[in-house]
Chains A and B, each alone.
Chain A
């Protein structure tokens, strides 16, 4: 039986926003009209195109990519998601230097202080969206998964 049929996926089919979509709109100003976001029962959200969301294949393992998950700090957008859609962000953006980007990609926290409110922020170097950071008391903590670090 496919995960959908077990009730694992709660597809909104883009007709109404789920919590993830509401969060990224509120936090970053990102709106995703052309993509489908679904929530899995394990607290993870996935994003995919409409064709994939409607694809009826038995026993599928995953559709699209993980775009976020529920954490003790609220919903956390994934690095992979932000690297694709972060360019649409209009707020809570931290501009970093090339050196900071390289350190961040290695899994290091950022040393300097940023005038940003607490919560997740989009990190950008010039036009490049580097990923997501967690800002706590003006310091940005690294959120790059160990397997993704360089």
Chain B
């Protein structure tokens, strides 16, 4: 099970440390600041490197804070891609694979419900997305259902997030049991098409973040390298996050510039494993 990944990451450690993941939640700053929230909430919690995110051993789903949309249960590492993209109030953002909406609603909070997010996903995945948008009071989002392998609008968005469907080796142990190399190759083709399409939908000067919750080269560095090869105006840039988040750099066998991408393994944050790359359209 581990042989195919062993050459570039500690596969056994990746697998076993998934069992040590903590539960995390994010304070929904659309409704309260972090300070306001903890002035009334008694949810036991511990701080994380991200100031609006906390770990808790509490059963968060049945709290009144969750009912009121004051918090959202979300893995800590999945909060990194929206932070890397850092959309602002004036942005028009394309979220290519939005459901269940954790990153969409996090971006909406960062944009203070201003600007616009076009959140795309398959129709069968809309119920979770719409439920989270509604509960968290997100008013700056248009939900669409289109094939993410084709540009929804060319040269239109200022920012785009492609959190692509993947083999999910960083998310749960069962994914390791069903994993095959063919699966990774097949998903890699889809991911390449999605990334190209999202890139083409950006305005010149736009920013794109690509992320997955898996470790294979085919689904990560290879996908980004494909974009850089196919689009001369795509440039890989560093992930400048104002928080101290432990990570490893990308695989340099694809070029030194791949040291700019992040590989977050489960032991870094006691959370999901993630791959994150940031590109700009020059």
Contact = CB atoms under 8 A, between A and B. Distances in A.
Given A51-B114, A55-B142, A57-B153, A62 B67 contact: no
B134 A150 contact: no
Interface stretch (B58-66, B217-225, B256-264): B58-66
Given A51-B116, A66-B134, A84-B31, A128 B142 contact: no
A65 B68 contact: no
- Chain B interface size, as a band, is 35 or more
Interface of B: 30-31, 40, 61-64, 66-69, 92, 113-116, 118, 123, 126, 130-131, 133-135, 137-146, 152-153
Nearest to B61: A150
Interface string A61-83: 11111100000000000101001
A97 to B, nearest CB: 12
A57 B152 contact: yes
A52 B139 contact: yes
A65 B139 contact: yes
B127 to A, nearest CB: 9
Contacts of B67: 105, 148, 150
Contacts of A51: 92, 114-116, 140
A83 B69 CA distance: 8
A94 to B, nearest CB: 16
A16 interface: no
A48 interface: yes
Contacts of B142: 52, 55, 57, 60, 62-63
A137 interface: no
A122 interface: no
Given A51-B116, A52-B139, A65-B139, A105 B64 contact: yes
Contact of B143 (A60, A83, A101, A102): A60
Contacts of B113: 49
A47 interface: yes
Given A62-B130, A65-B133, A49 B140 contact: yes
A127 B116 CA distance: 29
Given A57-B152, A61-B123, A130 B68 contact: yes
A61 B143 contact: yes
B64 A49 contact: no
A114 interface: no
A83 B126 contact: no
Nearest to A52: B116
A35 B137 CA distance: 13
B139 A62 contact: no
Given A35-B139, A60-B144, 8 more contacts: A63-B142, A80-B69, A80-B135, A83-B68, A105-B67, A130-B68, A150-B66, A150-B67
A150 B63 contact: yes
Contacts of A148: 67, 135
B61 to A, nearest CB: 7
A147 interface: yes
A59 interface: yes
Contact of A47 (B40, B68, B139): B139
A83 B28 CA distance: 13
A29 to B, nearest CB: 20
Given A51-B114, A55-B116, A83-B68, A150 B62 contact: yes
A3 to B, nearest CB: 11
A138 B126 CA distance: 38
Nearest to A56: B153
A83 B64 CA distance: 12
Nearest to A84: B137
Given A66-B134, A105-B67, A150-B64, A61 B144 contact: yes
